[in-house]
Amino acid sequence: MDIRLKIVQWSHRLLQRAGRGGSFPGVLALKMDPQFISRFHMPETVILVTGTNGKTTTNNLIAESLRAAGIKTINNRRGDNLNVGIASLLAANSDGSFNIQADAAVIEVDELTLYRQFANLHPTHLIVNNFFRDQLDRAGEMETIIRRIQEVTENFEGHIILNGDDPNVIRIADSAKKAKIHFFSVAENPISRKTTDEASEGKFCPRCGRPLVYDYYQYSHIGRFHCDHDGFGNIEPDVLVTDVDYDKEQFTVEGRQFHSFMNTIYGVYNCAGCLTVMKTLGVDPAASDEVFANFIIKEGRNELFQLSQPCVINLIKNPTGANEVMKYITAQKGDRNLCIFLNDNDQDGHDVSWIWDAHFERLNVPEIKTIVCSGLRAYDMALRLKYEGLEDRVKVIEEDTAAVHWLNEQNMPSYIMATYTALHRTRAILRKEEKK
C-alpha cells in the first residue's frame, strides 16, 4: 500500500461526496510524486485517443461500446486529458497497490503532451482522429506535434488506428514501422465536395512536397487524396463507411447498417474510428451500434437544455470545429437566436485570431435573429461578425449569466457556441436557468 496513493484516493472520495469532480487529486498526486502516472499496473487493454477534434466523443463511444460488450472499462469521459486529469482517473480506479481495477482503459490524451505520457501508460492501441490548426500560441506549429508523436511511436509494436482521410495523420503510418496500422475512411456522400475553401493544411505531399490531389473533400482538409508521384494516401481501409444517409441518420460498414451518432460528418468519422478499434479487439460491432443509437454525450457536444425554448450548446475551439458547428446550426429550421462565448484563458488559448480563419459568414441566414457575443473577448467576436455584415444583429453582453438569461427571456430556440473555459461555466448557468 502506498500512502501517497491513499491520500490522493481519499481526496478524490471526499470531493465526490461533496458533489465535486475536478482535477485536484491529480494535481496533488503529481506534486507529491512526479512519476505518479508511471506507477500503475495498467489493464490488459489500454487505448489512447488523441488528435485535434473529436477526442472526447471518440473516447466515450469506444468506452461505452466496450461496456456494452460486457468489458469492465474506465475512461476520462469528461475530456480531462492533461497529466492531472489522467492521474486523477487512474488513482480513482486503482486499489491500494496501483493495480487498475478494470479490464480496459480508454484514455483521451492531449495531443501536445502525448509524447510525454505515451510510454508511462503502456498502451496497446493508439487512435489518432485528425490534426487541425488549433491554438497556435499553446500548440506551436502542427509540424512539432506530428513529429513528436512520430518519435514516440517509432518502436511501438501495438495497434495504431488512423484516420485514413487526413494527410497529416497518415504520416504516422510511414514512421511507425513496427506497429500494426489500421485505417478508417468515409466514402463520398451527400456533403462531399470537389473543392473547398476550408482546408489550410494537407496541400502538399509530406514525402515529396508535390501538391496532393483530392478526389473529394468532406470537411476542412479531410477527404480522399493521393500523391500522383509516390502514391502517398493510397490506403486500404480496415473500416470503410459507405452510404451515409443524413435523412435516415444511418451509415453502412461492410453491408451492416449503423445508427449515425450525432448525424454529422465529423460524428461519422468518430463512429468509424470507434468501429475500427472494436474490429482490432474482435468485439461485436452490435455493441457500438447500440451506443450510437442511445448514448447521449453531455459535456457540451450538441447538449440540449430546456430553457423557455430548447437551447443547444456546443464547444468551439478552432476554425474547423467552429465551421462544422455552424453548418449544423444553420441547417436547423425556424427562427432562432445564437450566443457565442469567446474566452482567452490558458485552456482556450490566449490568441483569439483563429476566429478570422473560421467561416462566420455562414451565420448570415435570416432565421438567425440575434447573435449575442459574450465572454472575455466578446468585442473581438462582435467585430469579427461586423465583417460578415451581421453588425445589425449583434448584441454584446459581456457577462455570461446575463447573456444566458437574455436568451431565456426571448422565448425562442437558441444555440450556444462556447470556448473551453466558457463551456463548463455556461453549462452550470444553463442548469440554473432551466430551473427558473
Partner 1 sequence: MKLKILWMYHDLMDLYGDKGNIEVLRRRAEKRGIECVVDTCTLDEKKEIQDYDLFFLGGGADREQQLIFRDLLGRRDGIAAAMDSGTAFLLICGGYQLFGQYYKDQDGNVLESLGFFDYYTVASDRDHRCIGNIALEAAIDGDTFMMVGFENHGGQTMNVQTPLGRVLSGHGNMYRSEFEGFLNDQVVATYMHGPLLPKNPAVADKILMRALKRNYGEVQLAKLDDTLEDKAREVMLKRLKVI
- Considering the complex, state which of residue 4 and residue 138 has its C-beta at the smaller distance from partner 1: 138
Q: Which stretch binds partner 1 (CB under 8 A): 51-59, 75-83, 222-230, 375-383?
A: 375-383
| Separation in Å, CA 333 to CA 329, 367, 413, 414, 422 | 9, 8, 10, 11, 26
Query: Residue 15 interacts with partner 1 (CB under 8 A)?
Result: no
Query: Residue 181 interacts with partner 1 (CB under 8 A)?
Result: no
- Considering the complex, state which of residue 252 and residue 421 has its C-beta at the smaller distance from partner 1: 421
* Alpha-carbon gap, residue 58 to 65, rounded angstroms: 10
> What residues between 103 and 162 interact with partner 1 by CB under 8 A?
136-137, 141-143
- Considering the complex, state which of residue 243 and residue 391 has its C-beta at the smaller distance from partner 1: 391
Minimum distance of partner 1 from residue 316's CB (angstroms): 15
- Considering the complex, state which of residue 10 and residue 379 has its C-beta at the smaller distance from partner 1: 379
Query: Residue 262 interacts with partner 1 (CB under 8 A)?
Result: no
The answer to whether 330 and 388 have CB atoms below 8 angstroms apart is no
Minimum distance of partner 1 from residue 174's CB (angstroms): 16
- Considering the complex, state which of residue 175 and residue 189 has its C-beta at the smaller distance from partner 1: 175
Query: Residue 382 interacts with partner 1 (CB under 8 A)?
Result: yes
* Alpha-carbon gap, residue 166 to 129, rounded angstroms: 8
Query: Residue 379 interacts with partner 1 (CB under 8 A)?
Result: yes
- Considering the complex, state which of residue 10 and residue 204 has its C-beta at the smaller distance from partner 1: 204
C-alpha cell at 59: 473516447
Q: Which stretch binds partner 1 (CB under 8 A): 41-49, 112-120, 245-253, 390-398?
A: 390-398
Q: Which residues contact 9 (CB under 8 A, 6 or more apart)?
A: 25, 91, 92, 94, 96
Minimum distance of partner 1 from residue 227's CB (angstroms): 16
Minimum distance of partner 1 from residue 321's CB (angstroms): 16
Minimum distance of partner 1 from residue 221's CB (angstroms): 12
Which of 386, 402, 431, 434 is in the footprint of partner 1 by CB under 8 A? 386
Residue 251 carries which side chain, given as an amino acid letter?
F
The answer to whether 163 and 129 have CB atoms below 8 angstroms apart is yes
* CA-wise closest residue to 90 among 8, 171, 182, 178: 8
The answer to whether 135 and 165 have CB atoms below 8 angstroms apart is no
What is the CA 82 to chain-centroid distance, rounded?
14
Query: Residue 383 interacts with partner 1 (CB under 8 A)?
Result: yes
The answer to whether 172 and 183 have CB atoms below 8 angstroms apart is no
Minimum distance of partner 1 from residue 16's CB (angstroms): 36
- Considering the complex, state which of residue 292 and residue 354 has its C-beta at the smaller distance from partner 1: 354
> What residues between 185 and 244 interact with partner 1 by CB under 8 A?
200, 203-204, 209
* CA-wise closest residue to 89 among 151, 8, 164, 159: 8
Instruction: Give me the 325-364 binding string for partner 1, x by CB under 8 A, dash otherwise.
Output: -------------------------xxxxxxxx-------
Minimum distance of partner 1 from residue 151's CB (angstroms): 17
Query: Residue 380 interacts with partner 1 (CB under 8 A)?
Result: yes
Phi, psi of 400 (to 5 degrees): -70, -40
Name the region of 297 (left: φ>0; alpha: ψ -120 to 50; beta: rest): beta
Minimum distance of partner 1 from residue 199's CB (angstroms): 10
Minimum distance of partner 1 from residue 322's CB (angstroms): 12
Compute the CA torsion angle 313, 316, 321, 323 (nearest 10 deg).
Answer: 80
CA angle 261, 296, 91 (to 5 degrees): 115
Residue 34 carries which side chain, given as an amino acid letter?
P
What is the CA 76 to chain-centroid distance, rounded?
13
- Considering the complex, state which of residue 4 and residue 207 has its C-beta at the smaller distance from partner 1: 207
Minimum distance of partner 1 from residue 216's CB (angstroms): 20
Q: Which stretch binds partner 1 (CB under 8 A): 249-257, 273-281, 383-391, 402-410?
A: 383-391
Minimum distance of partner 1 from residue 393's CB (angstroms): 13
Name the region of 361 (left: φ>0; alpha: ψ -120 to 50; beta: rest): alpha
* Alpha-carbon gap, residue 284 to 304, rounded angstroms: 30
Footprint of partner 1 on this chain (CB under 8 A)? 136-137, 141-143, 200, 203-204, 209, 350-357, 377, 379-380, 382-384, 386-387, 391, 394, 396
